[in-house]
Amino acid sequence: MKKLFLYAFLLLIFCNVAFADNLKVVDGDTIVLNGEKIRFSGIDTPELKQTCMNGDQKVFCGMFAKMLLTKKIGNGIPKCIREGKDAYNRTLAECFINGESLSAFLVRSGYAFAYRKYSDKFIKEEEFARKNKLGMWSMKFEYPWDFRKS
């Protein structure tokens, strides 16, 4: 497990360098694209320091969500449909790689949740992941919004 975490960490560092100045993946639901901080609307991913339990093993699910997003983007540059600003002055947007919504991908993979407080857009993807016990749905976890409160 330590080797897997080290590999994931090194992959994240490499991928952030590969993006150069155009793109940086901040966490599972936030990127900086050409200097603009973009928060994916309608979803919420675990915080970077957040962990989940897979049996008796601790999984760094927040870091894994970031790694999954980084891998999905690859060497591409997301195309984003902007929807406004949030309370932290981040741009809210849905972003796509090769026509596929990154938000839908993350939720369907089980490493993001439909952020029902703000949107009902990704509920079907969340139900798919939960039903199939994908990602965090196969582990014990705390919802990101509850984790932030504690």
CB neighbours (10 Å) of residue 40? 27
The answer to whether residue 8 scores a pLDDT higher than 90 is no
Q: Evaluate whether 150 touches 138 at the Cβ level (below 8 Å).
A: no
Fold of 2-149: OB fold (Dihydrolipoamide Acetyltransferase, E2P) (2.40.50)
Model confidence at 16, pLDDT cuts 50, 70, 90, reads very low
Q: Exposed, middle or buried, 99 (CB in 10 Å: 0-12/13-18/19+)?
A: exposed
Give the pLDDT confidence of 140-150 residue by residue, as tens digits.
999 999 999 98
> Is residue 61 helix, strand or coil?
helix
5-9, 26-30, 52-56, 84-88, range with the lowest pLDDT: 5-9
CB neighbours (10 Å) of residue 34? 9
Helices (H), the chain: 2-18, 61-73, 102-109, 123-131, 144-149
Q: What is the DSSP string of 94-123?
A: EEEETTEEHHHHHHHHTSSEE-TTT--TTH
pLDDT for res 12: 47
pTM of the complete model: 0.85
> Cα–Cα–Cα angle for 140, 15, 70, nearest 5°?
40
